[in-house]
Structure 1
Amino acid sequence: MTEKRDNWAALASMPKFITLHRRKKSFLITLWCLSSIMFYLLPICAGYAPEFMKARILGRLNVCYFFCLFEFAMIWAVALIYTHRSNTYFDPLTKEVLADIAKGVQA
């Protein structure tokens, strides 16, 4: 049982793993913050600036309608950004960490 704990401790102290964890965490927190701001901005604007949200932009379509559509586009953009970043940066770094673990490289 202690052998597994030692392996996890060794993994947690590996420089590549620490780098991967730190960069992935900062990237995800940034995306989460931006998404949360946009998500909560809609009900805040609808509550505190209803006249602005009712303003017509294109025919019968108003600011609120376009804001909602923008949120859907933003969610897709977040998914595409994360997928691209994961495939080009996080996955290769994860493979390096796994290769080091397989070789038995310690911190």
Structure 2
Amino acid sequence: MGKQMTEMLKGTLEGIVLALLTGKPAYGYEITTLLRARGFSDIAEGTVYALLVRIEQKGLVDVEKRPSEKGPPRKVYTLNAQGEKELDEFWNTWSFLSERLEQLRKGGK
């Protein structure tokens, strides 16, 4: 992944993870796997875990510890009402930016 892609992902990864959690709770490794399955193969697990700590601290997800067959309990993240509002704002911002960027790309004003 190039430097430009890395920089752009820094600003959007939170919204991407919130979108992944829509309607389906998941734990950290599972979120990383979902990201990779959608083509975000170069995102490090550590980046995802740091993001999960941030969104938990911001109150965007509810966290439940569930037993794991392998090792310590897993923290399962569920999008809550505040997270849904944040995700709506993310999509509105994304739509605004993508429309303007597309206009620029096509040489429009």
Whether these two folds match at TM > 0.5 is no
- By relative contact order (CA 8 Å, sep 6+), the higher-ranking structure is 1
Instruction: Point out the structure with the larger helix share.
Output: 1
Q: Which has the larger radius of gyration?
A: 1
